[in-house]
A and B are shown apart, each in its own frame.
Chain A
Amino acid sequence: DGGITQSPKYLFRKEGQNVTLSCEQNLNHDAMYWYRQDPGQGLRLIYYSQIVNDFQKGDIAEGYSVSREKKESFPLTVTSAQKNPTAFYLCASSTMGLNTGELFFGEGSRLTVL
């Protein structure tokens, strides 16, 4: 079945460690996105990529990094510079601009920093 796969579902890390969240899609979508959810807040955009080898910062990019070496893959690294990394992270993709097309989401990864 076509879709977006995020891994791991749950991740525990010690403070100061970098962690990488995986996002893979087999929908052949050009655009991919990373969102963060915190309690009581709307989804906030971290990074997005409209094409391979290109990506842009979203509203809360500080402390995060991404790469887009393949169309199917858009991994997110949470670095030690991210002050409050404990959160729920959602990856999404779209086949066209968001002025007409919808986002397709993965099931998310919950990161807890101890």
Chain B
Amino acid sequence: ILNVEQSPQSLHVQEGDSTNFTCSFPSSNFYALHWYRWETAKSPEALFVMTLNGDEKKKGRISATLNTKEGYSYLYIKGSQPEDSATYLCAFASGYSTLTFGKGTMLLVSP
């Protein structure tokens, strides 16, 4: 069974704070690392699919980095806003058809 760990489990920050989360995954048999944002009562939405060691991706105030050799990815949110409140999931692809998900990091941003 593959192990994908996310930390912290939850986070409460103030509006304007920058924050980051970690996703740890096996360093072997790597195909891709996915990040999703899941807002309450909505569908999870993809943020990034990262495939190459050293990859850095950015979408607005959110960015992510990838280190496949040591098996971790960081997700950064710059200047958090209340609308960033959500659960952030990472998922590890060890093949073409399946993902192993972490338990998620729940972010609450207070105005």
Contacts and interface: CB of A to CB of B under 8 A. Distances in A.
Interface of A: 4, 31, 35, 40-45, 48, 50, 56, 58-59, 90, 97-108
Nearest to A37: B101
Interface residues of B, number: 27
Contacts of B98: 45, 48, 58, 98
B34 A103 contact: yes
Interface string B57-81: 0000000000000000000000000
Given A102-B34, A103-B34, A4 B43 contact: yes
Interface in B1-55: 1, 4, 31-32, 34, 36, 41-46, 49, 51
Contacts of B4: 42
B43 A42 contact: no
A42 B96 contact: no
Given A43-B101, A45-B99, A98-B96, 19 more contacts: A4-B43, A42-B100, A42-B101, A43-B89, A43-B91, A56-B97, A59-B1, A99-B32, A99-B93, A100-B49, A100-B51, A102-B34, A103-B34, A103-B46, A104-B43, A104-B46, A105-B43, A105-B45, A108-B43
A109 to B, nearest CB: 12
A103 B98 CA distance: 10
A38 to B, nearest CB: 10
